[in-house]
Amino acid sequence: MDRTEELAVGRRLLGHIDGRTTDLADSLFRNRVIAYSCRERARLERDRLFRDLPMFMGLSTRLAKAGDYLTEDVAGMPVLMTRGADGSVKAFANVCRHRGAPVAEGCGNARAFTCPYHGWTYDLAGKLLGTTDKVGFAGVDLARHGLVPLPAAERHGMLFVRPKPVQPGEEATLEVDAGLGPIAADLAALRLDTYPLFSADRVAPRINWKFAIDTFLEGYHIPHLHRKTIAPYFIGNCGTFDSAGLNGRFCVARTSIDTVRGVPEAERSFRPHVIALYQLFPNTILIWQVDHIEIWRAFPGRDDPGRSDVELTIYKPANTTRPDSYWEKNRDIAIRTVMEEDFPLGERMQIGFESGATEEVIYGRNEPSLVHFHSSIRRALGIPA
């Protein structure tokens, strides 16, 4: 967030605190509970949201230098991302052209990838360098059997991939700025490329993936559900929301924001007192936590709308002098709050959704980020509002 934006958001938050108000959606939103439990709907979401759109894959520092690679199965597509000798980021289906084994596992640094099954070798640009039995595979044109490219991009210190192969006549470079709209500049100002990864945790809660995202999109529950953990540090049910196409930015104030009141307006620094949550549609919440970056990604579980795979990553500043114990503490707070408070309750809610007891859930006008998220989903799926 740049300085002008920081002052504007700070002013809005102070105004809300004074008036006991919050940013409001135009109207409340009723969503059918089957959005969280129906198999048909889950299939549609997988095809339209998780295969057709750019997926956030992590900060650029995950692929800091030439030869760095990472792998991940993204909603059923095995993905391999690399940084080539020329510094560019590329992505491929992590599927060997011989018989389909993954050519790389985990993450690391490599000059080439050798398939573990029969030893075919690919370079960082996905080119098939050679097969192992020259006689057995005589006639196989190496140039036509490289790894299948997926469109990829590196923008504002973030990595993106579209988990659907590059189509004929299509560029291998993804366009993401247009989709990010006005928050692109905001994200650029965060200098995300200066934050290396500190930790990565994965869980598989028994909740629909959308609930894992919902939990970050309103501060209404903070004084209630989190009264023993983070509630003392935040002003509940109070926030600003700005939409950016399908994406959005939701800001909440720490209780410490009151200390700026004694400072002349132009000299105020809101940065230590405001948490900004960037909603990168469809499945990522990037949280600017003042001195570090916390990122949550949620993926639909395989074949079950009531399950998801959720990843928490913490990125610390490159130039920090703080000991690892400090970042460990931040990771613990995030895990305790979300995985021990939000998700366990969410699992109970998922049972409620699947019980058929109620037909709808209601997102209030005081939950504009939630309203926007679910409106965006309907828009992206082509479902009438």
- Applying CB under 6 A, the residues found at the interface with ligand FES are 96, 98-101, 115, 117-120
Question: If binding is defined by CB under 5 A, does position 23 make contact with Fe ion?
Answer: no
Query: Minimum Å distance from CB 242 to Fe ion?
Result: 21
- Which CB, 131 or 375, lies closer to ligand FES? 131
Min separation Cβ 141 and ligand FES, Å? 16
Residue closer to ligand FES (CB basis): 115 or 252: 115
Partner in contact with 99, chosen from Fe ion, ligand FES, none, beta carbon below 5 to 8 Å by kind: ligand FES
The listed partner (Fe ion, ligand FES, none) that binds 342, CB under 5 to 8 Å by sort, is: Fe ion
Considering beta carbons, is residue 179 or 239 the nearer one to Fe ion? 239
Question: To the nearest whole angstrom, how small is the minimum distance from the Cβ of residue 121 to ligand FES?
Answer: 9
Residue pair 122/147 in contact by the 8 Å Cβ criterion: yes
Smaller CB separation from ligand FES, 139 or 168 = 139
Residue 118 beta carbon to ligand FES: minimum distance, rounded to whole angstroms = 3
Residue of the chain from 242, 294, 342, 367 that contacts Fe ion (CB under 5 A): 342
Residue among 100 and 232 whose Cβ is closer to Fe ion: 232
Q: Which stretch binds Fe ion (CB under 5 A): 35-43, 53-61, 121-129, 208-216?
A: 208-216
**50-109 positions binding Fe ion, by CB under 5 A:** none
Binds 55: which of Fe ion, ligand FES, none (CB < 5-8 Å by kind): none
Which of ligand FES, Fe ion, none has residue 98 at its interface (CB below 5 to 8 Å by kind)?
Answer: ligand FES
- Are 348 and 211 spatial neighbours (Cβ–Cβ below 8 Å)? no
